[in-house]
């Protein structure tokens, strides 16, 4: 990890990977650490973490909701608040929700952000499954 990016952090990969021979955990750093932290933030519901009860996004509360403009606005608001409070390393510019596969129970949520200290722009796509089941027909 380069010295000028130490502030971006270093942590376990997500999902965690262990090497039985070296008895070590795969680590990620810099921009990859931020991307994985965002993924964890979006997957976590408030109250799931014992020592940080407020941490999380609450997207799981949207499972089985009717997908309309109101729900889209609520999803965007949940994400904006979570990033504002729990990921201070980035500035979130835009959230795009792709409804192409909504009939299959999938929304692709695109985040466009800038890493504050390096001023480098990045983005990620988070797949949000709002319906459970594999053979659900409407």
Q: What is the DSSP string of 109-130?
A: EEEEEEETTTTEEEEEEEEEE-
Tell me the C-alpha to C-alpha distance, in Å, between residue 8 and each of 1, 30, 87, 109, 112.
10, 5, 11, 23, 18
pLDDT 10s digits, 21-80 = 888 887 776 788 888 889 989 999 999 999 999 999 999 888 878 888 998 999 999 999
- Contact by Cβ (8 Å): 83, 38: yes
- Structural domains of the chain, with CATH: 7-16+23-129 (3.10.450.40)
Give just the sign of the alpha carbon dihedral 71, 123, 103, 106: negative
Mean pLDDT in residue range 106-113: 92
pLDDT 10s digits, 90-108 = 999 999 999 877 777 788 9
* Residue 1 pLDDT > 80: no
User: What's the residue count for the chain?
Assistant: 138
Is the pTM higher than 0.85? The answer reads no
């Amino acid at each position: 990890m380069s010295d000028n990016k130490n502030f971006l952090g270093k942590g376990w990969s997500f999902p965690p990977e262990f090497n039985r021979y070296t008895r070590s955990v795969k680590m990620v750093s810099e921009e990859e650490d931020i991307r994985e932290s965002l993924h964890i933030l979006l997957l976590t519901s408030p109250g799931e973490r014992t020592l940080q009860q407020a941490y999380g996004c609450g997207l799981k509360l949207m499972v089985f909701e009717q997908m309309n403009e109101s729900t889209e606005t609520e999803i965007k608001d949940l994400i904006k608040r979570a990033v504002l409070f729990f990921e201070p390393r980035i500035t979130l510019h835009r959230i795009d929700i792709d409804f192409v596969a909504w009939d299959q129970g999938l929304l692709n949520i695109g985040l466009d952000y800038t890493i504050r200290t390096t001023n480098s722009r990045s983005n990620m796509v988070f797949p949000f499954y709002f319906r459970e089941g594999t053979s659900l027909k409407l």
